[in-house]
Each structure stands twice: as C-alpha cells, then as structure tokens.
Structure 1
Amino acid sequence: MSTTSRRYAALAGITAAAVAIGIAEPVAVLTGPRSAPLVAVGGAIVDAVPESLKQLAIDLFGTADKIALLVGTAVLLGGFAALFGVLAVRRLALGLAGIGAFGAIGVAAALTRSGADLADALPSLVGAGLGALVLWLFIAGPFEMNPWSWSPPTPAAGPPSSGASVPPAAGGSVPPAAPASGSSSGPTAAVEPVAPADVDPESRRRFLTGSGVLLGTAVVAGLGGRWLAGRRGVSAARDAIRLPAPVAPAPAVPGGANLSLAQLAPYVTPNFGFYRIDTALVVPQVDPDTWRLRIHGRVGKERTYSYADLLARPLVERYVTLACVSNEVGGDLIGNARWLGVPLRELLDEVEPDDDADQVVGRSVDGWTCGTPTAALRDGRDALLAVGMNGEPLPVEHGFPVRMVVPGLYGYVSACKWVTELELTRFADFDAYWVPRGWSRQGPIKTQSRIDTPRRRNRLTAGPVTVAGVAWAQHRGISRVEVRVDDGQWQEATLAPTVSVDTWVQWSWRWDATPGEHRLQVRATDATGETQTERTQDVVPDGATGWHSVTVTVR
C-alpha cells in the first residue's frame, strides 16, 4: 500500500470513529449523559489509572483536568481509529473487529458505572454499529477508493518498443527483442520500474465528499446531543428556587478583612471562581423535586428527607473555607464562601447513630463516596448539609441541589457533592473512594500559608513593597504569620480581621526592598500554637506541607 492510500485509509477510520462518537451523543440524551461512550470510558479511566497520574493531571491542568482527559481520550481513540482504517484495507474484518472492540469497551464502561442499567449500553452499541457501517462504505461500498493499493500497469501484448520494460520469461531470462527498423543493434536497455498510478480523480472526489459529509454529520450530531442534554438539565429548576432566610445568618464580614490588593485572592471567593475538583466528567443533573437523602446504616431510626423537607427546616448560614487535599504548597485549590444549610448534627441526632458508628459515608448520585469521622459532624463545628452558596442555590457544578460542607477537613473526606445517601458505618468496615487509592482515611486540614503578591519572578522597584497573601487552619484559626527574606530573621506580618476560625485570613507585610534577586518565604502558626512545618511533603497521602516561597527581582 502506498503512502497516499494509507493516508486515505486512516482518514476513513477516523471518520468512522467520529460518526460512532457523534451519533452516540443524541442517543445518550435518552439514556443519560454518563452513558455516552467518551464520557463512560473517560470515567472508567479516572477510576482505574494510578493515583500518580491523576495528581499529575491536576498539577498540569488544574480545574481543567476533566477537559484534558476527554480531549486526550478522543485523540487516543483517533489514533487507534486511523490504525483500524489501514488494517481494514488489507482485510475488512480486522477494521470491523477493532470498532467492535471499542464498542464493547464503551458498553462495559457504561454498565459498570454506579446506578447503570441495560439502557446505558445503547449509545455505545448504536455508535459502534454506525461506525462499522461507515468503515464498510469506504472500504467496500460506494465511497471506496478503487484501488486502495496500486500496481504497475500490465504491458500491452506484442513486441515492446525499444527501452520498454519486459516481463521475464518463465525461466527467469529476458529474451532479446528484435531491433526496430532504423535502430541500432546491441544489448537490451535496462529495465526501469514503473511508478504506481496516481489516485483516480473521480475516486478521490467521491471519497473526500463522503468523508466530509459524514464528519460534518458527526459534529452536528455530537454538538446537538450535548445541547439537548443541556436542555434537559436542571438550570431552570435551580433558577426557580427561592431559598428561605436563615434563622442564624452568617456573621458580617468585618471591615478590613479584604485588603483589596492586586493579585491577592479576595476574602470571599465568587461562585464562578471557586475551584472544582471531583471525579464527575459530566456534571450530574439532579432534579430537586425528585431528590431524596437517605440516612441509614448503624442507626436506630432510618430516615429519608426530600429537598422541600430541608428547606422547611431552620437553616443556618456560615462562612467556611474549603480546601482540596491535592492543593500543592502555594496552590489555588482553595476558596472561601458563605454556605446555607441544615446542621448535620441535627439530622444525625434524629437517626440515633450506634455508639460504634465512627464513620459517615456520603454517597453522590454518581456513586462517589467519602468517609467523614462521625465525631467531626457532632462536635459542635458548623458542619452543614448545604443548599446555598454565596446567597443563591448551589451552582450545579458545585453540588446542586445538596452537598456537604465540613470545616477543618479536606474535601475528599467531607465535601460530598450531589449527595443522596449518608450511611453510618465504621472505618474498619468500609473504605471510601480515595482510601484504596493511597489516601488517608481521615484528612484534617494542615496549617498552611501562601504568598499571593508579589508573584514568582515579578520585577519590582527598590523601596517599600507590600508582601501579602492568605493563611488557613480551618476549625483552629491562625494566630500569627511570619515572612522572611533570603533566610534572614522572621518578621511578623499583620493579620486582617476574619469572620471565624473556619475561614482563611489575609495578611500583609511591608518590605523595604533592595536591588537584587531575593527569595521570600512565609509560615503560619495556628491558634493551638503549632507552627507550619518546613518539612516538604507531597499531597499524598494527607496533604502537602512546607513553606511557600517566591523569588523576585528588585531593580
């Protein structure tokens, strides 16, 4: 097969894969967006890949890690599809078998997701079937490039003219040709290879037209399916909700809590800027009218609550800073918001947990689990079953209609979004999602601090410079922040006011900068008197440690 024919064959395979994925999207509108092959396979990858690769994705792409995964999966699929196209030219059954294998992978991925049923296999089956049909159209049907592999033309019968290539005789020798009139006698001219014929223009036009139409159809179907899935979402239901006023409003943010400096994170993180790290490749769309929360397990009285039940209860409002355990030293996977919800302590009291039920397992609608120490939900801290965020219903991507918010614990053990179950159990009996993947069972937040301004490699002018950032030790609070320059003496920074020990605090320090390159470091001390450790530790298994530093140049 020539290089040209391989390129066309690869394009045929890619077109077949695009049709399979694109057509599966509108089918998934009927069965649920998590059943779409790309999403189902991507979800299976998230569950199966080593933790080190997940952390690498978060480090490289941050909150865009899911988009990167879907794009990477699509690119990988495109590579295999190109290979299947080339194989199909040699033998059609090989290409069809490749598409069938990917269809089977999509079916298996969809059916093994939490809450799946047989209907979830439909998008992968329909997509694989149409993909196989498209491949046949290109290899053996009306869009066929004929021929896919070219051979030299067969010489016409009769004596060849001087210099023409002559097929060898049966014995392998080439008989001499009779000299033509006027030609000189002598040995026969050397045999020269004949170049393969070029692609037939009509065949090429038919192929390119067919592939263009099918690729366009795949794109329209895929985008249309995504749009229809969005139309079936819950944004309208969320917009119609009017949250009741809290019986215990959040304390007012004190004056001066927000220093309003360039590059410094605001004291209250807006909803659109709040970090999002979870395993859901497609944001779950949960109808508040049908949502139910079941509390069961090692309890005296199992209970079930509706969304209306929660809104009818006395609601409290609190500022709480949430942090992801994957947050590197100096990272931005942290945010502070005003949450509205029902105290979890009250709900647990109503179900009467057994004395040995030391873990509450939160289950998301997509099957994800987190294990929270029961004691942390009943020790008086403002642990909430939240329905509101910064004065509005929870954003869909942040857990609408209901999520957990627990001060002092990393999100992987406490902040279950789209929660539908709370099961009272024991740590000895059940490991939540992240525990078998190398993370600790319990994740209390560590004392941390960060320099927001100046930023790394900033060029500054000699003279007074304001160094500022944030520090946090939720449920303990921050008592002191210190800054030093070039390993010199630690200098105490000024702490801004804060709402409570459950939120971060802004800090600032005035530096008389001198010319040259300098390294700034920061450390914090919590209200218990424990100072942030200098020892550097990776985020696994229970959060990063170390002092944040930035290097700046002063002119």
Structure 2
Amino acid sequence: MTDERLSRIRAALIGLLSVGVGLAAGQLVGALRNPATSPVLAVGSAVIDRTPTSLKDWAIRTFGSNDKPVLLASVVVAVLVVAAASGLLARSRPWLGAAVQVAMLVVAGYAVLTRPFAAASDLVPTVCAGAVSIAALFVLLRLAAPSPGPQGASRRTFVAAAGGTAALAALGVASGRAITDSRSAIDVKLPAADPAAPALPAGLDETVPGVTPLRTPNSSFYRVDTELSVPNLSASDWKLTIDGDVENPYTISFSELLRRPLTERNITITCVSNEVGGKYAGGATWRGVLLKDLLAEARVKNPDRPDLQVLSTSFNGFTISTPLGAMTDDRGAMLAIGMNGAPLPREHGFPARLITPGLYGMLGCTKWVTRLTVTTYADRKAYWTKRGWTTDGEIKPTARIDVPAGLATVKPGRVLIGGTAWAQRRGVVGVQVSIDGGPWTAATLGPDVNVDYWRQWYYAWQSSWPGQHSVRARVVYGDNEIQTSARAGVFPSGSSGIEERVFLVG
C-alpha cells in the first residue's frame, strides 16, 4: 500500500475512527468498573492536577460551571488531532501509526496509575481501549487498500466498515452513559433531625423580581470541584474513618451514621473562587451529624495545640485541610448527609460531605468524604495547601447585586435594586447602596435567618434622568463593621472589594 493508493483524508479518518472506537470501549468498560478510570477522564483529571492555579482561576472565571466540559472537550480535541496523525503515519508505515496510538495509551495509563488510591486493575479500561483501537486501525487499513476487483466495490466496503466503526463508537459511548445513569438513583431514607432547622420565612424574591431565592434549590446550587465525572458511590459500601492523633480511632458505616442523632441547620457556603459579585455561593438546609461529637468520640490528643488540623480525604484521595477548632467549636460544623430535605445529591457529595460554617469550601466542605485524620500542618499538606492557597480562609463579608443586570435597560421612575449579602459567623446587620457615586444609603433587608445565612436586600430608587447610571453595594456586619473596599483577587484567600454595576434608564 503506497501513499498514492490511500488518500490523506482516508488515512486521517482511519486514525480518528480507530481511536474513537477504542476510547468508546474504554468508557464502556470504565462505566462497568469505575468511570474515573476511563482514559479520557483519567487524562483530564491529570491535567486538572497539573494546571497552574492562575489558569484554573481563569477557567472558572471564564467558563463558570462549564469549566469541566470545556476541559474534556479540549482533551478530546487534542486526542483526535493525534489520532488523525497516527492515521497519516500509517499510510506507508502501519506499525508507526500503531506506535503513536500505543504512546497515547501509555500517557493515559500513567494518568490512571498516578491518581490517588490507584490500583493495577484500574488499567483495564485503558488496555481495552488500546486493544480495540489498534485492532480497528489494522482492519480499516486493510479494507481501505484497493482490491483486485472493481474500485467501487472496494470503496463501498471501506465506507460500510467506517460507518460500522462510527456506529460502534457511538453505541459504546451511549451504553457507558446509560450504565452510569442507571446506577445514579439514590435509595436512602433520611431520619428526621432533632432539632430540625427552623422553617425559612418568605423571602424578598417573591416581591423583588431577580433577587436570588432565599433557599437555593439543589438543582441550581453551585458546584466547584476537581471531579470530571460525578462519583457514583454506594451508601452501603461507604465508611468514614477517623484516625491520626486520636486515642480512639474508629470507622463508622452509613447505616450506623443514620442511627446517630441528626441535627439540621440553614447555612450559606461560599467558594474561594467566587469573584466580587460572583454566583459561587448558596444557601441550603443541611442535615447531618455534628463533627465535634464524632471527634469527641475519637478523643483527640492534645486538642488545644494551635497547629492541629483535620485532614479530610475524599473517596479518590483528594484532601482538604480544616483547622481543628472550626470542627469542635460551637459553629455547628457537620458531616452532612441531607440537603434541603432530601439525601445529598451525588453532585454535592453523596453519601456524605463536610459543611463548616464560616470557612470557604476549599477548607471545610469536602465532598464524598471517607476519612478524617487529625494531624499537624507540618506533617500533612492538603491539595490546595500544596498549591499555595491559605490554610485560614474565613469567608469575607460581601454584598452582591442581583438586579438590575449589568447594562440592563430599566424603565424611568421607581427602580428596584436588590441582591444578597453574607457575613458568616458575624451576621448581616445592614446593606448600603450608593447611586452614581453619591452618599451611602441604607437598603431594606430581608428576613434574618441566622448569622451563618445570607440576607436578601433591596433599595427603591427614583430615577431622575434617563441615561447611564451606576450602583454600588456594601454590607454592614457584626458590630456595625463595614465591608472593605480594598480590592483583592480570589488567590490565595478569597476576593474582596465592592461590587459596582452599570445600568441604563430609558
């Protein structure tokens, strides 16, 4: 077979189809075992782990909750480019094309084995992907070669084979997704909490259109984590181990957890990647077991040491560092198993996650948690600590403007300006607004749920002339402290500054 006999387009297509059907086989086998071990997801996870902090911040800021699909799409595009190149190389040297595909699989295998808690058996999806892709490469190359008979017959044979390969790839992807989806149902009944959280009052969102709801529905609650696929964990297999510098290390199952007294609280949590005016905050009703009770049972050694942390570990080895005092004081940090009256959604940590009021999520809200290790900051460093983020990230008080939208045009006359403010552990006592750089004026506050929950606010402004206007908002919290105007980015300890929004009257 010479270069003239096999066109470049057909060769590139062979490379794409062979790698595509191989990756589909890897995804299908991964779905049957562990979706995170499929080659594409493993490489994507490795990319996340090795991405510089500044680039991660840019991705979250630019793509929001779509950062993971964008990353996966980028990985797939890169793979397809190399796949096409393997087909082109195979035009005259089939084994050279196969060697390129083997090299791709070596990279994927390395990504699989370097994940925390990896086992040799996790390579099965990658090996299956490699076997299928290389077999498809040689079969398609053979079918693409001209036959002694009529040229049309050879072309029809190749087209049929190419179409069948593409159909198999699509079937493999669809089957993998179907298997994963079929295992995602949560069959858990939560016991009632005692005490239960007070019912939330009617919020301003019922009277001020555009203001964020007082309680964030599970389906629209923000999600920021390092997982490319939603973990599909079983409550019956889940266990939490508490160990480290404790006198009584122990392990508790999910069924044992359900038999413990459950508490319930309304708590707002915030992501450290939330920019000024950002949407990475949410208020929900969380149900679970108090962490101070779990740690008391473990009997922490020398609990007054200031350098002690609780290193929480997710099912896949991801770690978060939380000051011990934040889990044992009166703030009510919990191992949560329920959210807004239902079991935790898988996207938000099922079977169990941490909720630590007052700390950014990277310090106290580990999802899919399976281990709590009491240790020192010197002995163990968490995922984000290794990347230069703070170990003492108290959430910064802020007021966010929800309405009007930036550059929106509103009708002349009475203009409703509204939003949400939070100051966890200190409480929101006021919100002030400034129109067109004018004096700060008190806004009307919504219901006060508790010091760890956000408050809605609004200000009715009477527009005096058409055209462009601006509004700023700041929170008053605690003992009448004023939100800082000092501007800071999200790294390394959360953003600060006063949001300003421009809108039009006309």
Per the shorter chain, which TM-score range? over 0.9
Amino acid at match of 1:508: Y
Match of 2:480 in 1: 529
1:341 aligns with 2:288: yes
Q: Establish whether residue 253 from structure 1 lines up as the match of residue 197 from structure 2.
A: no
Mapped pair 1:402 → 2:352: yes
Instruction: Check conservation: 1:36, 1:124, Cα contact below 8 A.
Output: yes
2:191 to 244, 253, 276: 244
Deviation at residue 146 of structure 1 after TM alignment:
7.3
Task: Encode CA deviations 1:82-118: one digit per residue, 9 max, x unaligned.
Answer: 1111111132222111100111111111122222211
Q: Which residue of structure 1 lines up, in the alignment, with residue 438 of structure 2?
A: 488
1:320 to 255, 267, 272: 267
For 1:167, the equivalent position in structure 2 comes to none
Structure 1: segments with no counterpart, 5+ residues:
148-198
Question: Distance between the aligned counterparts of 1:374 and 1:475, measured in 2?
Answer: 17
Find the aligned partners of 2:32 and 2:339 in 1 and give their Cα distance.
31
Partner of 2:145: 144
Residue 515 of structure 1 corresponds to which residue in structure 2?
466
Residues 116/31 of structure 1: CA separation in 2 closer, same or farther (3 Å cut): farther
Residue 266 (structure 1) aligned with residue 177 (structure 2): no
Q: Provide the residue aligned with 1:277 in structure 2.
A: 224
Query: Is the Cα contact below 8 Å between 1:318 and 1:339 reproduced in 2?
Result: yes
Q: Which amino acid aligns with 1:363?
A: T
Q: Please give the per-residue CA displacement for 1:330-370, whole angstroms capped at 9, x wherever unaligned.
A: 11111100001111111111111122362001111011110
Q: What's the counterpart of residue 506 of structure 1?
A: 456
Q: Which residue of 1 aligns with 2:301?
A: 354
State whether structure 2 residue 21 is matched by structure 1 residue 71.
Answer: no
Aligned residue number for residue 14 of structure 2: 12
Q: Distance in 2 between matches of 1:136 and 1:4?
A: 14
Between the aligned partners of 1:90 and 1:439, the Cα distance in structure 2 is 51
Question: In 1, Cα distance between the equivalents of 2:27 and 2:492?
Answer: 37
Q: Which residue of 2 aligns with 1:62?
A: 64
Q: Percent identity?
A: 40
1:503 Cα offset (Å): 0.6
1:370 maps onto 2:320 in alignment: yes
* Counterparts of 1:130 and 1:145, CA distance in 2: 24
Cα offset, 1:224, TM superposition: 0.6
Q: How far did 1:473 drift?
A: 1.0
- CA distance in 2: counterparts of 1:64 and 1:476, whole angstroms: 33
Whole-Å Cα distance in 2 between the matches of residues 119 and 28 of structure 1?
11
User: In structure 1, what is the Cα distance between the partners aligned to 2:35 and 2:239?
Assistant: 21
Equivalent position of 1:205 in the other structure: 156
Contact 1:449–1:470 (Cα < 8 Å) also in 2: yes
Which protein shows a greater Rg?
1
Q: 25, 28, 33: which one pairs with 2:35?
A: 33
Q: 1:135 maps to which residue?
A: 137
- The one-letter amino acid paired with 1:365 is F
Aligned equivalents of 2:55 and 2:78: distance in 1? 16
Mark the runs of 5 or more structure 2 residues left unpaired by the alignment. none
Among 47, 51, 69, which residue is 2:49 paired with?
A: 47
Partner secondary structure for residue 481 of structure 2: coil
- The answer to whether the Cα contact below 8 Å between 2:32 and 2:179 also exists between their aligned partners in 1 is no
| Structure-1 residue corresponding to 2:502 | 551
Is residue 252–residue 499 contact of structure 1 (8 Å, CA) maintained in 2? no
- One-letter identity of the residue aligned with 1:377: M
Tell me, what secondary structure is at the counterpart of 2:246?
coil
Residue 98 of structure 2: aligned partner: 96
In the alignment, which residue of structure 2 is the partner of 1:22? 24
Mapped to 2, the partners of 1:547 and 1:437 lie a distance apart of 27
Q: Distance in 2 between matches of 1:256 and 1:61?
A: 30
Q: CA deviation at 1:202?
A: 3.9
Q: TM-score, normalised by structure 2?
A: 0.95
CA 1:528–1:3 in 2, change beyond 3 Å: closer, same or farther?
farther
Counterpart pick for 2:176 among 177, 201, 225:
225
In structure 2, the residue matched to 1:189 is none
Change in CA separation of 1:256 and 1:99 when aligned onto 2, cut-off 3 Å = closer
Match of 1:421 in 2: 371
- TM-score, normalization: structure 1? 0.87
More deviation, 53-62/93-102: 53-62
CA distance in 2 between partners of 1:114 and 1:37 (Å):
16
